[in-house]
Structure 1
Amino acid sequence: MYRAAKGENNIVAFGSTRDLRPVGTVIFVNCAFPTLKRDAVDTTEVTLGPFADAPYTTQSVFHISGMSYGAISKPAVLALSNGARQSGIWMNTGEGGLAPQHLEGGADLVFQIGTANYGVRDAEGNLSDEKLAAVAGHERVRMFEIKLSQGAKPGKGGILPAEKVTKEIADIRLIVPGKDSISPNRHREVDSESDLLDFVDRVRRVTGKPTGVKAVIGNYDWLESLCDEIKARGVESAPDFITVDSADGGTGAAPMSLIDYMGLPIKESLPGVVDLLNRHGLKDRIKVIASGKLITPAEVAGPSAPVRTSWCVPADSCLRLVAFRLFSATKTRVPPG
């Protein structure tokens, strides 16, 4: 990873130094007669949001997960957006709003709506349909993701201290400069599975674009109830995708107790989510995205391939461009990265 990040050759000599003996070690079964390049086929196109006014179609399998401007710098956002455009993949904005650099890079964007509604809020912090429509008016904003929880700190909100709320950050997030900004531990509008479907419908109806949810899985009861509610209302009411975030996903700042002990890792949660959707007959309707510390090819394909995940959206691998800076993110002043 570090050699590749520095543009160095990552080809090595001799054999593997990895211990292959532990129980549960992922081993890929090689093919006796590998496919030649001339016989290889392209990945098929997949469309999200069949009931949205502007469905989104992509052929790429790997995309970039949410990292907010402010948590990463202008050059980082611009570099990722440029890279995503050149690679034909999408980039998630993270919950910190839509920065000019997201648009400047020209990538297809997934706008993430966090619990503070940054970038799409009114003066009281409530979700604003007018602001939603304005963000959706950007052609490059292709989809919307409602963040219920994230890997490193499921069930917890956050505080953006006043010292970090510069005028630029305040303008992007639609908050007051120089004042602490609070992210609640859940969306005010969402207190049940029924509320969640209403919220998804509202965002999709106002924006006209595919809308999904992101969550760390703790138990599956709420997903069972969600699927039952979807079937009662009709499949058009379903989220267009669910991003399953791993409990070991990263963040700029979170309590160690939550980082270490809350939520299920992706190798446990992803098969459970896919099995549940298949059991309810909703797997084709609700696309599944895997996220959270998926860095190497084996870590990506290991949990994803057996259950036919639609996409993988790593952030940790991208964060290597700022990894050493993030250890200072809990402080008031953070080195740029």
Structure 2
Amino acid sequence: MRKAILFTNIIILIVAIIVCTAIWPIYGFSILGLAVFGLGIYDITQTKHAITRNFPVIGHMRYLLEMIGPEIHQYFIEDDTDGKPIDRNRRTYVYQRAKLERSTHPFGTELNVEADNYKWMKHSIYPSKLQHEQPRVLVGGPECSQPYSSSIFNISAMSYGSLSKNAIMALNLGAKAGDFSHNTGEGAISDYHKHGGDLVWEIGTGYFGCRTEEGEFSPENFKKNAVLPEVKMIEIKISQGAKPGHGGVLPASKNTEEIAKIRGVKPHTEVLSPPGHSAFKDAEGLLKFVKQLRELSGGKPVGFKLCVGRKEEFRDICEQMLITGIQPDFITVDGAEGGTGAAPIDFSNYVGMPWEEALIFVVDTLNGYRLKDHITIITATKIFTAFDIFKALCIGADVCNSARGMMLALGCIQALKCDTNKCPTGVASNDPAFMRGLVVAEKWERVKNYQAETLKEFAELFAAAGCVSLRELDRNLINKRIIDDVKTYEEWYPTIDSGVYFKEKMPA
């Protein structure tokens, strides 16, 4: 911040000098000389910055270039297929569909089809009839009295506070218009979520919207929100891929009076969610909590979201399902590549199981314990394109969510300023100066368009594969190259037969 202020002052000074030089050349050059001399004296005598102390005046160019380095890289250096965390081709994919622009691509693929980890689907020379109606999945097990008919492509968890109120309103209006669901994130339900879109209420470790003054879970406060007609499902967030085992972070700059009231916390302070839940401490406690929330909500679908860490802990949950007879209605699988507004870099880079391995493990483990039939698998990591959805469903997911894809549809440019409250497009900023750029009446339609156009392309892929039912999607339909060896996902990751863990020792 101090660097930015310094550079702003320097730019203002330079502009003033140029104007003075144009009007009064002699005085202008004199002022310029004095300014440069003064800056040089300051640089030589200051002790904080080695570069400007050793290279007065010109050393400031290093900080200026560093400040605009990400923009230079994104707009002038970055390759269409290599950008991180989301490459330019995928960003363009979202923008084109959100704006209903031309979505064709000329001259062939830009991907290296000989590269390690390249994936492709099998098509059929006998394609099926194109289905124009969006497929739906019924979420809710035997103990659920209010099952929910879900789209296979929805808005993933993003809280109000992390996102602006304009962004939340646009997302919810888009979900309403497109008949898909909007996950609230762990930041509680705000008035901006209540524009007619179906809600999945996420309950995190901070219990925002259902907490006591001490931060513990409050059944009474939970029930007030859970019975709202727009709340269709409840998701217990155990962990998320971007920062598993860490808990959420809301910077003080984003914690306004309004947001603090919604969450039940002190305003203008950094809000740190605990790493773990206080309402339960083990697998049995988790399942009893699922049952409690289902009863308090009047029988709505209740599930949990996690990034897989220790495999034995998930197996323990499955075993407890058999022992207690309590099953969640759904499980959301997040991968270590998941996104967030703010997280410690080591957690983002090195903690948690990557998405593909995690999804395969969860699906196979549930199958092995004969539990998959009544549990819907939702997945939510780097889902942007129709092929992403097709691949996830072939691996074993039932429903896909997207967070960053929906942010791009809102106008996000991947400025990587989510944690600063200075998002230039107003998607992830509560500063009115930035938020005004996100016009709700314009952006909600883009959210609806992106979801609908992506599912249209999914339908085309589905027909190209010769499928007529979602149940036909399996691991045999996707090929994967590892080094020089090409196999189907079924060959790389053989499907675990239902109930096999009752008959033989579990694999390591």
TM-score (norm 2): 0.62
Does residue 274 (structure 1) correspond to residue 363 (structure 2)? The answer is: yes
Residue in 1 that maps onto 2:303: 212
Does residue 48 (structure 1) correspond to residue 140 (structure 2)? The answer is: yes
Does residue 67 (structure 1) correspond to residue 158 (structure 2)? The answer is: yes
Residue in 2 that maps onto 1:188: 278
Residue in 1 that maps onto 2:209: 119
How much does 1:176 deviate?
A: 2.0
Q: Residue 121 of structure 1 contacts residue 128 of structure 1 at CA under 8 Å; is this kept in 2?
A: yes
Does residue 173 (structure 1) correspond to residue 266 (structure 2)? The answer is: no
- % identical equivalent positions: 37
User: Which of residues 106, 109, 117 is equivalent to 1:13?
Assistant: 106
User: Which of residues 322, 333, 341 is equivalent to 1:252?
Assistant: 341
Q: Residue 72 of structure 1 contacts residue 322 of structure 1 at CA under 8 Å; is this kept in 2?
A: no
* Mapping for residues 82-121 of structure 1, pairs under 5 Å: 82-104=173-195, 106-121=196-211
User: Which of residues 225, 228, 244 is equivalent to 2:316?
Assistant: 225
For 1:23, the aligned partner's letter is D
Does residue 57 (structure 1) correspond to residue 146 (structure 2)? The answer is: no
User: Which of residues 387, 401, 418 is equivalent to 1:313?
Assistant: 401
| Residues 207-266 of structure 1: CA deviation (Å, up to 9, x unaligned) | 1221100000123211111111111111xx111110000110100011111111111222
SS at match of 1:84: helix
TM-score (norm 1): 0.92
SS at match of 1:269: helix
SS at match of 1:12: coil
Q: Residue 211 of structure 1 contacts residue 241 of structure 1 at CA under 8 Å; is this kept in 2?
A: yes
Residue in 2 that maps onto 1:31: 124
Residue in 1 that maps onto 2:381: 292
27-36 vs 270-279, which moves further: 27-36
**Partners in 2 of 1:86 and 1:332 — Cα distance?**
29
How much does 1:164 deviate?
A: 2.6
Residue in 1 that maps onto 2:27: none
Unaligned 5+ runs, structure 1: none
Change (3 A) 1:306 1:183: closer
Unaligned 5+ runs, structure 2: 1-90, 428-508
Kindly tell me the number of residue pairs found equivalent between the two proteins: 331
**Partners in 2 of 1:312 and 1:51 — Cα distance?**
23
For 1:160, the aligned partner's letter is L
**Partners in 2 of 1:126 and 1:326 — Cα distance?**
36
Change (3 A) 1:306 1:40: farther
127-136 vs 28-37, which moves further: 28-37
Residue in 2 that maps onto 1:330: 419
Q: Residue 137 of structure 2 contacts residue 398 of structure 2 at CA under 8 Å; is this kept in 1?
A: no
* Runs of 4 or more above 6 Å deviation: 39-42
Is the helix fraction higher in 1 or 2?
Answer: 2
Change (3 A) 1:72 1:161: closer
**Partners in 1 of 2:398 and 2:237 — Cα distance?**
19
Residue in 2 that maps onto 1:264: 353
How much does 1:198 deviate?
A: 1.8
267-276 vs 48-57, which moves further: 48-57
